[in-house]
Amino acid sequence: MKTTPSKKLRRPSNGLTQQSESDDTRWNLRLYVAGQTPRSLTAFKNLKEICEKYLKGQYHIEVIDLMENPTLARGDQILAIPTLVRKLPQPIRKIIGDLSNAERVLVGLDIQPRSN
């Protein structure tokens, strides 16, 4: 596992991080983190890798740092950190953990059928 390119997370301000790779936002993903912990960074790196590999050009990642905006935890009922929320396509799905198991992330996001 390589070190996360932390500059990607650090670049946006106020914790509300827009990570848009394209205008096609069929996949609207939200990653909830709490501060820049190694686990959060790992999760972001893992998510990025998966998205680049499977959803290239059709995803939008929003990183929310609850340390800075704790009120936002209510909206998506966030308990665990990190939590990845699939806002679109519906229905909402949640994946908790550092997303280190790519296969389960794919299942969780419904990119890959569970049968695998």
Partner 1 sequence: MRPNRRNHSRPLNGLQKERTGIPGFDEITLGGLPAGRPTLLCGSAGAGKTLFAMEFLVRGATLYNQPGVFISFEESNEELTTNVASLGFDLNQLIVDKKLVLDYVFIERSEIEETGEYDLEGLFLRLGHAIDSIGAKRIVLDTLEALFSALPNEAIIRAELRRLFRWLKEKGVTALITCERGEGKLTRYGLEEYVADCVILLDNRVENQISTRRMRIVKYRGTSHGTNEYPFLIDEKGFSVVPITSLGLSHPAPTEYISSGIARLDTMLDGKGFYRGSSILVSGTAGTGKSTIGAHFVESACARGERALFFAFEESQDQIVRNMRSIGIDLEKFVKKGLLKFQNARPSTWGLELHLAMIHNMISEFSPSVVMVDPITNFLAIGDRIETKQMLTRLIDFLKSRQITAMFTSLTSGGDDLEDSEVDVSSLMDAWLLVKNIECNGERNRGLYILKARGVAHSNQIREFLLTDHGIQLVDAYVGSEGVLMGSARSSQVAREKAAEVDRKQVMERKQRELRRKQELYEAQLIALKSQYETERDTILRELEEEKQRQQVVAVQRLEIARLRQADNGEVQMQGNGARKSRKGTAR
Binding residues for partner 1, rule: CB under 8 A, are 32, 34, 39, 42-43, 46, 66-67, 70-71, 73-74, 77-83, 91-101, 104-105, 107-108
Question: Given the complex with partner 1, which of 12 and 72 has the nearer CB atom?
Answer: 72
Question: Given the complex with partner 1, which of 23 and 74 has the nearer CB atom?
Answer: 74
CA distances from 93 to 6, 27, 31, 73, 76 (A): 26, 12, 12, 15, 10
Closest approach of Cβ 20 to partner 1, in Å? 23
